[in-house]
């Protein structure tokens, strides 16, 4: 099991300089990864300062040597895939091959100011098709060979983008969304990992269960084979008060096949000093 932090790209300490400092602290404190949200307007709050995650990730890359860096998640439907190809390869080189790209449709409920207010597509079915096409374009351009593509939403005509990513065969792609919904689940199985949340039932938030993990793991083995790596990144919430209970949950999920546990540091609950304390205490390792 690896342990990550999910940090906001908005609010009082969401700027690039501070996130670089926090990423360095996370590395020093034993975390394995630091991941950023990707909002144009942070969770739809226009009165909250919001900063570009790609520039922040660049600052984080220069302040660290070991931790994995990435997004959870970037809505590719409001980003041109060739621009993302350039940005991700640049970050992969800057970090010496530590980038993980988390993608998804985006949350139009919390992020309406980043979609409808700018005339972006809001229909989930259409955004799903756009995301699939964007991923095809992205991976095609990462190959560093002449690439053409003709889809419903994107077209590329014999373009070669160099350099290639540092990582081989390419930068890992994790897919977010609601589990066990068919669209995001099948999309995640096509790529390198899942950073999906559990689709809410009667409550606003539900942790994954070991049975959920085993079900996704079994699907991955059926579709990809047992020898093909597939990350299952879980968590995505603030740490609970009962640390031993949290460790027991993490241990049960790891035994079922989960590979990452990611804690979210919430702006609403933490000022910068409190965020530093939460990071400096390190992850809840189960070894």
Residue 36 lies in a domain: yes
* Position 65 pLDDT exceeds 80: yes
Residue 30 domain boundaries = 2-77+89-117+175-280
Give the CATH number for residue 11.
3.20.20.30
Q: How many residues does the chain have?
A: 287
What is the structure's pLDDT at 58? 98
Tokens representing 226 are 């047992």
Residue 82 lies in a domain: no
Q: How many Å apart are CA 283 and CA 247, to the nearest integer?
A: 10
Residue 154 lies in a domain: no
* Total domains present in the chain: 1
Residue 145 lies in a domain: no
Q: How many Å apart are CA 139 and CA 91, to the nearest integer?
A: 15
Task: Read off the pLDDT of residues 81-109 as tens digits, 9 standing for 90 and up.
Answer: 999 999 999 999 999 999 999 999 987 55
Residue 195 lies in a domain: yes
What is the structure's pLDDT at 116? 78
Residue 122 lies in a domain: no
Mean pLDDT of the chain: 94
| 257 HSE (CA, 13 A, CB side) | 20
Residue 135 lies in a domain: no
What is the structure's pLDDT at 202? 55
Residue 224 lies in a domain: yes
């Amino acid at each position: 099991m690896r342990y990550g932090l999910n940090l906001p790209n908005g609010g009082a300490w969401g700027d690039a300089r501070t996130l670089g400092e926090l990423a360095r602290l996370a590395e020093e404190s034993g975390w394995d990864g630091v991941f950023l949200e990707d909002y144009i307007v942070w969770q739809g709050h226009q009165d909250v300062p919001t900063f570009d995650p790609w520039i922040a990730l660049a600052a984080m890359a220069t302040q660290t040597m070991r931790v994995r860096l990435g997004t959870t998640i970037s809505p590719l439907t409001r980003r041109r895939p060739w621009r993302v190809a350039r940005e991700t390869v640049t970050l992969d080189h800057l970090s010496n091959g530590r980038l993980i790209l988390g993608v998804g449709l985006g949350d139009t409920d919390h992020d309406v100011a980043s979609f409808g207010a700018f005339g972006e597509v809001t229909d989930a079915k259409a955004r799903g098709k756009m995301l699939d096409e964007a991923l095809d374009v992205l991976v095609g351009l990462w190959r560093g060979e002449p690439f053409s593509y003709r889809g419903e939403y994107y077209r590329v005509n014999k373009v070669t983008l160099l350099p290639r990513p540092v990582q081989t065969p390419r930068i890992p792609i994790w897919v977010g969304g609601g589990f066990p919904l068919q669209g995001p689940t099948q999309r995640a199985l096509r790529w390198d990992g899942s950073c999906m949340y559990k689709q809410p039932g009667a409550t606003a938030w539900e942790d994954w269960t070991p049975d959920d993990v085993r079900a996704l793991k079994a699907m991955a083995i059926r579709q990809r084979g047992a020898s093909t790596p597939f990350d299952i990144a879980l968590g995505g919430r603030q740490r609970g008060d009962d640390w031993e209970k949290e460790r027991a949950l993490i241990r049960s999920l790891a035994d079922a096949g989960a590979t990452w546990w990611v804690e979210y540091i919430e702006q609403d609950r933490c000022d910068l000093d409190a965020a530093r304390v939460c990071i400096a205490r390190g992850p809840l390792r189960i070894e």
